Each structure stands twice: as structure tokens, then as C-alpha cells.
Structure 1
Amino acid sequence: MDLNSDLGEGFGQWTLGEDDDLLGVVTSANVACGFHAGDPSIMRRVCERAVAQGVAIGAQVGYRDLPGFGRRFIDMEPAALTDDVVYQIGALAAFARAAGDRVRYVKPHGALYNAIVHHEEQAAAVVQAVLDVDRTLPVLGLPGSAWLELAVDAGLTVVHEAFADRAYTATGTLVSRRLPGAVLHDADEIARRCVAMAAGDPVPDADGGALILTPDSICVHGDTPGAVDIARRVRAALTDAGVQLASFAR
């Protein structure tokens, strides 16, 4: 099982998350590429420290929306979206190379991640960006999403993802962050859910039903209160349950 986290999400003098601590826990780092968060100096630093920790570097691509942290949908022309994603992957690729490694996968962020669950035109645009840059790059996403279905059709390697600290609807989509209870905060509950996911056992959905998720990678968010403690609890619980942790991209 892979553990991934969104890292490098500060900007200039503003910091967000505890990147160094999380790099000691996760196996894959989704590095912000400067559009929803991050800047060149942050990208360089996170890449260097990921390489030092043996953590795989992934491009966390999103809408050009620094004020909204990439969590607002933007109705973009497909060609423009493709170019924006190519640009972001290319920027991170340069810093990964400077740190002695390379970008090993692509994961959309925030509103873009959610939009391409159903928005086929934008999903196709992001798929095209990956094809334009490097068709050997695996892509992360929500199982059953248009994004992953189109990626499979294009011959890309897809990685099914689940979220440690997010509530799910009965249909397996994420509960909107605008709704109460969308983000979970109890570290023990989150750890138990992750062990269940890894074992193929059901977890409760937002309606009280039983939902089975079978992820290849579990995301532990880096920007929530207590993120490092949650990530450590999740890693320890998985390890104690006999789950071997390793990046899918190595």
C-alpha cells in the first residue's frame, strides 16, 4: 500500500503543513506545482527532501487559483487546461531533476480532481497533458471517475486512490467540503478506516451504509489540524496490521 500526501503547499512567506515531518511518514509526495500553491523555492526544497527520504515525487496539478487554493471550479477551454497541466508537470520535473530524481506520477488537486470525476471534456484535457509529457507516468484518481476511465483508454497506468480523512457518499464520491462532517479529525477513527480499506473491509459512508474501497494508495492530507499525528497513526496501524508500505511509483 502507498501512502501519499499533498506537500509544498505554502507560498512565499506563507507556510502550510509540516512537509519535513510528513516526508518521514509517507511513501509518495504530491508536490504543488505553483498554480494552486507552491513556488519555485518551495518546489526545490520539497524535491530535495523527498529524494533524501526516498519518497517518490508526484506532480500535484490544479487550476490557476492561488487565492482559492485551487478549490474553485474554473470553466476552461480544454486546450488551455492541457497547456496549464503540461506547464506544471514541466516545472516540477526541472526541480525533481535538479534534486537527482524525476517526476514519477501525476495527481490532480482540489476542484480539478473533483471536476474530472464527471467532467469528461476536462478529464480528457488532463489525460492529453500527461500523454504530451510522458505516457509512462502513472496517474492517481478516484475509482470510477471519467479521468481514470479515459486514462485507461489512452493506455496510461492508473492508480486508485482513497482518502484517509474524508467522508464518502454512498456512491463512493467525496462529500463536499462545504458540508459538515466532510473532513474527519479523530486520528484513531481514521487509522481504523485505513486498515479496513487496505483489507478490503467496508467503511461507513455519510449515510451510515457500508462502502467498500479498494485503493492502491491512501492520501493523508497535510493541511488539516493534527496532520502529522494522523499520518503517523495511519502508518503505524497499517504496519501493525501487516500491510507493507511502498510507493506504487518505485
Structure 2
Amino acid sequence: MKEALDFNADVGEGDDDAGVLPWVSSASIACGFHAGNPETMRDTVALCLRHGVAIGAHPAFDDRAGFGRREQSATPDQVHALVTCQVRALAAIAHAAGARLSHVKPHGALYNQAARDPALADAVAAAVRDTDPGLRLFGLAGSALVEAGARLGLAVAHEVFAERRYLADGRLAPRGTDGAVIDTLDEALAQVRQCLQTGSVTALGGERVPLQADTLCLHGDRPDAAAFARGLRQALERLGLQVRAPGRGDA
């Protein structure tokens, strides 16, 4: 089993970030297209600095009504432009606070479409590289997105999920699917332990799916996100893992 693991949360989406951020090592901040605005971005950056949490951008399709979770027909050029715009906006806010971004993680439908569509994956990765080649790209473990990032010379992090179920092909089960979201902390902890101890998870259909785990995600928009964050962090430490952001220490 790994000695160290990043634990990240999606934040800046109008939820209990103050309750989540003390427990994580990285945060991906909504950049205004699916949630948030300049004020929430500044406030969330400040919270990250207070707790020593690595700051990342969480760009999405321009879809506030659908919280960025509705699939869109977008060209690679359009995806490149929207990712670039959002990452630059958050980078400027971080810079004004005396900080810099460490990573980029797409949100919602953009994340899932880029995970399976190589052209969109290349567009996201190119936008990150063209904005700042020192940024790390977070993507679904084993997906087209992390493959694109590595191919373009970016550092990448294969991401696994604490409270989402998987399909047999390694994709996340769509949110409308029965059982796609794990509701209890005990079930989430069981999935995390299996992933870290065996390098696999059990899909909804019962298949064993191998996964590389560089960073573990918790969705910060859960109503119980703070309790989940605390419980997951304590479980990771009981397993003997050092919880730290990629690039910090030996992670």
C-alpha cells in the first residue's frame, strides 16, 4: 500500500467549506461557471491558506442552472477557451493573496466527457499546459484525461472517489443510476479501504475494477461533507497513510 495519499475536495460551491478544509490536503475551487463568483473564490483561497491546503482550479461548462453536470456539445477549441478563462481567473485571485495554483481538476460533465473523449481530453490538457505547464492535472483514474495530460508533459494525478460507485469499465456510475452515490460513511470507508489495500473497487455489477489511486476525492456539496471529510481523514491515518498534496514532501 502507498505511504502517502492526497485527499481532495471540490469546494467553493456554496457549501460547508469551513468544515471540510481542515481535513483535506488539496482543494479544487469552483471558478464561476457552474458555481461561485470572485468573492467566493477569494474567500475559499483564504480558507485554503489558513489550513495549508493546496489550491486547484475546478473549471466547468458554463451551466450554472445544471450545476455543470449536464453534458454539452462543445468543440475542443471551446473547451480549451473555457478552461483557460477559468484557470486564469482563479490564478489571478490566488496570486493577489500571495499563493499560486497547484493543480486543475475539471468539474462534472466536463470531467466525465474528457475522461472518455480523447479530443476533449487533449483540449483540457492543452489549456492547462498553455496556462501554466507546472500545474498538475487531476483526472479519473485510468481515463483519457490523465493519458492526455501525461502525453503533453504534465504531471498528472489519477483520482479515485470515496462516495461514488463505478461501472465495470472504470467510469463513474451516472448520478441518476440507482446506487451511484454512496450515502453512508461506513460504505464509503469500505470502498476506500478496498481501493487502497487491493488497488481495485467493486463495480455496481459486482466486477472488480483495478484503479490507480494518487488522490482521493470527496464532493464538498454533500450536506454531510464535513462529517465525511473528518471520518475519511481519520481512516486514512489509521491505515498509516500520510495525507499530503502531490509535490509536497515525498508524495
TM band (smaller chain): over 0.9
Corresponding residue of 1:206:
204
Q: How many angstroms does 1:172 deviate by?
A: 1.2
Greater relative contact order (Cα 8 A, min sep 6): structure 1 or 2?
2
SS in 2 for 1:57: strand
Q: How many angstroms does 1:143 deviate by?
A: 2.2
Verify the 8 A CA contact 2:60 2:108 in the aligned structure 1: yes
Q: How many angstroms does 1:249 deviate by?
A: 4.1
Verify the 8 A CA contact 1:200 1:214 in the aligned structure 2: no
Q: What is the CA deviation profile of residues 87-142 of structure 1, one whole-angstrom value per residue up to 9, with x for unaligned ones? A: 10011001111222111100000000000112122111111111210111110001
Gap change, CA 1:92 and 1:181, over 3 Å in 2: same
Task: Give the aligned CA root-mean-square deviation in angstroms.
Answer: 1.2
Pairing 1:1-250 to 2, within 5 Å after superposition = 1-10=5-14, 17-250=15-248
SS in 2 for 1:108: coil
Q: Which amino acid aligns with 2:10?
A: D
Gap change, CA 1:202 and 1:118, over 3 Å in 2: closer
Tell me the TM-score normalized by structure 1.
0.94
Residues matched between the structures, number: 244
Verify the 8 A CA contact 2:199 2:213 in the aligned structure 1: no
* Deviating more after overlay: 200-209 vs 25-34: 200-209
Q: How many angstroms does 1:185 deviate by?
A: 1.0
Q: Which amino acid aligns with 1:233?
A: G
* Deviating more after overlay: 105-114 vs 121-130: 121-130
Q: How many angstroms does 1:199 deviate by?
A: 2.4
Runs of 4+ in 1 over 4 A off after TM superposition: none
Q: 1:70 and 1:215 mapped to 2: Cα distance?
A: 25
SS in 2 for 1:208: coil
Structure 1 runs not aligned, ≥5 long: 11-16
SS in 2 for 1:239: helix
Verify the 8 A CA contact 1:192 1:237 in the aligned structure 2: no
Gap change, CA 1:58 and 1:249, over 3 Å in 2: farther
Corresponding residue of 1:14:
none
Structure 2 runs not aligned, ≥5 long: none
Q: What is the CA deviation profile of residues 125-170 of structure 1, one whole-angstrom value per residue up to 9, with x for unaligned ones? A: 1111112101111100012222111211111111000000000011
Q: 1:160 and 1:201 mapped to 2: Cα distance?
A: 12
